[in-house]
A and B are shown apart, each in its own frame.
Chain A
């Protein structure tokens, strides 16, 4: 079985401030983890993924995430928010035991204040 919990359905940050989006997962076997971003009226776009190599993963648009097995977490960060980062962000997990099915969290909507 696998599941994803994203803490906080809405996050508001000031432009230039740190963005921190929290994701905790549950997986019976070593997981693959993903962060996707969804802009209004668009599909989902992959930001980054963890595939059992380096635990600190760098993605597009200055985002990065760190896999922490002991905490079952995969939090997403960006040092300095930009107005264009306003979107909804989804954490997702997949593993072989679940047939490689991609399971999404509920999402976190990010608002960037000028």
Chain B
């Protein structure tokens, strides 16, 4: 079974430039997550999709970050314009579903996209 695919693996840009990251989740996984992992910290949830709808984007800096999952499968995370503090690894994860108290669904993570903003 193919895992979560992310690209690009590495990206270096200058501040105020834009960047986009792509994620293809595991086939059949309805829920998709984008996490930001700053060096030395644990991952922080940016946005969570259930199919093509947003479940939680409370920690997404909406003035510069945007994400979409138009057909309920793959997703794109965009940063425009980038700031120095956006340097981090952006992790995409997917799970079968998220709703319901009985769901203890495991999240499957991609290898991440490492962004360096100069």
Q: Which residues of B contact A90 (CB under 8 A)?
A: 42-43
- A17 at the A/B interface (Cβ < 8 Å)? no
- Tally of contact residues, A, Cβ under 8 A: 27
The answer, among A46, A96, A100, for a CB contact under 8 Å with B106, is A46
Which chain A residue lies CB-closest to B111?
A43
Q: Which residues of A contact B106 (CB under 8 A)?
A: 34, 46, 49
* Residues of chain A in range 65-96 having any CB-CB distance to chain B below 8 Å: 90, 92, 94, 96
Given A49-B104, A100-B99, A101-B48, the answer on whether A43 and B42 have CB atoms closer than 8 Å is: no
* Residues of chain A in range 1-39 having any CB-CB distance to chain B below 8 Å: 4, 6, 9, 32, 34, 36
Which chain A residue lies CB-closest to B103?
A100
The answer, among B43, B98, B111, for a CB contact under 8 Å with A41, is B111
Measured between alpha carbons, how far is A62 from B17 in the docked complex, in Å?
Answer: 45
Which chain B residue lies CB-closest to A50?
B104
- B25 at the A/B interface (Cβ < 8 Å)? no
Q: Which residues of B contact A92 (CB under 8 A)?
A: 42
A44 touches B43 (CB 8 A): yes
- Tally of contact residues, B, Cβ under 8 A: 24
Smallest CB separation, A11 vs chain B (Å): 15
Per-position contact with A for B99-118: 1 when CB-CB < 8 Å, else 0?
10101101101111000000
Which among A9, A32, A101 has the greatest number of chain B C-beta atoms within 10 A?
A: A101
Given A49-B104, A51-B104, A96-B101, the answer on whether A43 and B109 have CB atoms closer than 8 Å is: yes
Spell out B's residues near A (CB within 8 Å).
4, 33, 40-45, 48, 55-56, 91, 93, 98-99, 101, 103-104, 106-107, 109-112
- Given contact pairs A4-B42, A44-B107, enumerate 13 new A-B contacts (beta carbons under 8 Å): A6-B42, A32-B104, A36-B109, A43-B93, A44-B93, A44-B109, A51-B104, A100-B98, A100-B99, A102-B45, A103-B45, A106-B41, A106-B42
